Amino acid sequence: MTQAPTTDQIRNATDSGATGEKVGHPDPAAAPLGTDAEAGGNSPTPTERKLEAGSQINHPEAVPPDGRVVYFVLIALVAGAIAVIGTMA
């Protein structure tokens, strides 16, 4: 049986953007994941933490577009604009 992740591990996965729920940036939440339950004396059980971790979808990091693709699109747009202007003359 695998060990349930801690609430900090779940929060860090979400904050880093690894789950695809948000961009990789710390969450300025007033009450981060698990805080309310822990303050009330009812920390999340290992089963609840496993359920939360299992419900998160792991997305690979987005790859920025290759520079060549950007230049190709710009050249195609300029060529298209020239063709449209040429037919209007």
Answer for the pair 27, 14: CB distance below 8 angstroms, yes or no. yes
Look at the chain and report how many structural domains it folds into.
1
Model pTM?
0.42
pLDDT category of residue 78 using cuts at 50, 70 and 90: very high
pLDDT above 70 covers a percentage of the chain that reads 71
Q: Identify the helix (H) or strand (E) that includes residue 20.
A: none
Listed in sequence order, the residues at least 6 apart from 69 whose beta carbon sits closer than 8 Å to its beta carbon are none
Q: What six digits make up the tokens of 55?
A: 């419900």
Domain hosting residue 63, numbered range: 7-88
Q: Is residue 1 part of a domain?
A: no
Residue among 66, 48, 58 at smallest CA distance from 16: 58
Mean pLDDT on 62-87: 86
